[in-house]
Amino acid sequence: MALSIHPKVSEFISLHRVARLATADAQGTPHVVPICFAFDGQVIYSALDLKPKRVAGYKLKRLRNIMENPQVALVIDDYAEDWSTLAYVLIRGIAEILEGGAERQRAESLLRQKYPQYRKLLEEGCTVLKITPAKVTGWGRI
C-alpha cells in the first residue's frame, strides 16, 4: 500500500530541483550527496547521469551503500535569511537500483521532462535509483 502524502507536501517535493540524499553503509557510516530527482506522486527517482564523478557506476559510494543498506533519507529544503520562510521535507524510505524495465524507462522520461540538461547528460538506459517513502515529514512554510 502506497504512503499517503499531504498534497501541499507533494507539491513542495515536485516543485524543487535538488535534494540531498543520505545513505549509510552496513556499519552505519553516513554519506550525503546532492541529487536531481523526479517525483511521480508516490516514489522518487534519481539517475546516474553523465555529470563528472570521481568514480563510475557501482563504485559510487551511494550505490555501494544502498546495496549494503537500502534505508535512505532525502531532504528537500528552502533556506532564506528570513527564517519565517524556512521549510523542508524529510523523506525516509527504501532505495532500489533499477537497471531495466518499464518503470526504469518511465523514470528516465520523467527526469528528462523535468531537467532539459538531461537531454544530453542522461544516457539512454542509465541506472536509476528508486526511493519508496516509508515516512514523510514536512516542516515550516510549505
For residues 27 and 33, what is the distance between their CA atoms, to the nearest angstrom?
A: 18
Retrieve residue 116's grid coordinates: 532539459
Give the tens place of pLDDT for each residue, 17-27: 999 999 999 99
Fold for domain 7-137?
Pnp Oxidase; Chain A (2.30.110)
Report pLDDT digits (tens) over 84-103: 999 999 999 999 999 889 99
Residue of 51, 22, 40 lying closest to 105 (CA atoms): 40
Q: Spell out the domain ranges in the chain.
A: 7-137
Location of C-alpha cell 540531498: 20
- Quick check: pTM over 0.85? yes
